[in-house]
């Protein structure tokens, strides 16, 4: 067994055991699931919503829904994937209540096309490690992510920020793996275009 498998297997087992106990009515087991995942759900909602109060609402709605529908969970996917699906849907519903969606999750997305290519690309001139340490750049990145159409934002956050696999992202959003890859490609191009102007200005100022 690889070290990676050794690290992940106990978590999956713990989740399965906690879910089964919670389904039998063990309130402590459900509380443990909440404690284990509430920070992750909040962070996901915060990235999706950008408003702390809205993120808190999504967090609360997510675990209320989990509590109500826990007995419907059959274990076909992992508990974390099921939980992310509920949280993402809650966030998307709240976003759509604000304004009409920019792009439906069910709408086919074309991978190619001139409209997808950035108008101007510059060398960002900064490593990912430096970006993490720079609050200004982090804020700029957060703003750029928030400006993405909601379906592209969801894919980018789940895949590139939360670290879900392509298959897990597809399972959460209920779309195909090719569609995940297409939307992720579009999101990355749009972010690069959005941030290029910022980094160009930054280099001009520093130069």
Residues 135 and 163 in one domain: yes
Q: Is the pTM of this model over 0.85?
A: no
Nearest to 189 by CA among 158, 161, 129, 149: 149
Q: What pLDDT was estimated at residue 25?
A: 94
Would you call 104 helix, strand, or coil by DSSP?
Answer: coil
Nearest to 175 by CA among 85, 90, 46, 48: 85
Q: What pLDDT was estimated at residue 50?
A: 83
Residues 88 and 124 in one domain: no
pLDDT, one tens digit for every residue, the chain (207 residues): 444 444 344 455 589 999 999 999 999 999 999 999 999 999 999 999 888 999 999 999 999 999 999 999 988 889 999 999 999 999 999 888 776 444 443 444 444 443 443 434 334 344 444 555 467 777 788 888 888 998 899 999 999 888 899 999 999 999 999 999 999 999 999 888 878 877 776 655 555
The answer to whether position 130 is within a domain reads yes
Residues 138 and 88 in one domain: no
Domain final residue pick, 64, 98, 132: 98
The encoded tokens of residue 65 equal: 């829904």
Residues 161 and 190 in one domain: yes
Residues in contact with 192: Cβ distance below 8 Å, sequence separation at least 6, in sequence order: 118, 121
- Enclosing domain of residue 41: 3-98
The answer to whether position 105 is within a domain reads no
Q: What pLDDT was estimated at residue 19?
A: 95
Q: What pLDDT was estimated at residue 204?
A: 56
The answer to whether position 103 is within a domain reads no
Query: Cα–Cα distance between 8 and 4 in angstroms, integer?
Result: 6
Q: What pLDDT was estimated at residue 99?
A: 60
Q: What pLDDT was estimated at residue 107?
A: 44
What total of structural domains would you count in the chain?
Answer: 2
CATH code where residue 59 lies: 1.10.1740.10
Residues 202 and 126 in one domain: yes
Q: What pLDDT was estimated at residue 157?
A: 93
The answer to whether position 12 is within a domain reads yes
């Amino acid at each position: 067994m690889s070290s990676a498998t050794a690290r992940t297997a106990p978590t999956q087992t713990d989740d399965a055991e906690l879910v089964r106990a919670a389904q039998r009515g063990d309130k402590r087991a459900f509380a443990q699931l909440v404690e284990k995942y509430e920070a992750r759900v909040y962070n996901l909602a915060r990235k999706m919503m950008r408003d702390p109060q809205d993120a808190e609402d999504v967090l609360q709605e997510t675990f209320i829904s989990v509590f109500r529908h826990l007995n419907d969970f059959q274990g076909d996917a992992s508990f974390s994937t099921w939980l992310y699906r509920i949280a993402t849907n809650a966030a998307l519903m709240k976003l759509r209540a604000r304004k009409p969606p920019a792009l439906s999750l069910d709408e086919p997305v074309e991978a190619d096309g001139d409209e997808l290519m950035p108008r101007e690309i510059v060398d960002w001139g900064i490593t990912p490690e430096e970006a993490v340490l720079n609050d200004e750049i982090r804020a700029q990145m957060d703003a750029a992510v928030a400006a993405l159409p909601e379906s592209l934002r969801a894919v980018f956050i789940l895949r590139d920020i939360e670290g879900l696999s392509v298959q897990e992202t597809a399972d959460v959003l209920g779309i195909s793996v090719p569609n995940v890859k297409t939307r992720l490609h579009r999101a990355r191009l749009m972010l690069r275009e959005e941030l290029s102007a910022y980094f160009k200005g930054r280099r001009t100022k520093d130069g």
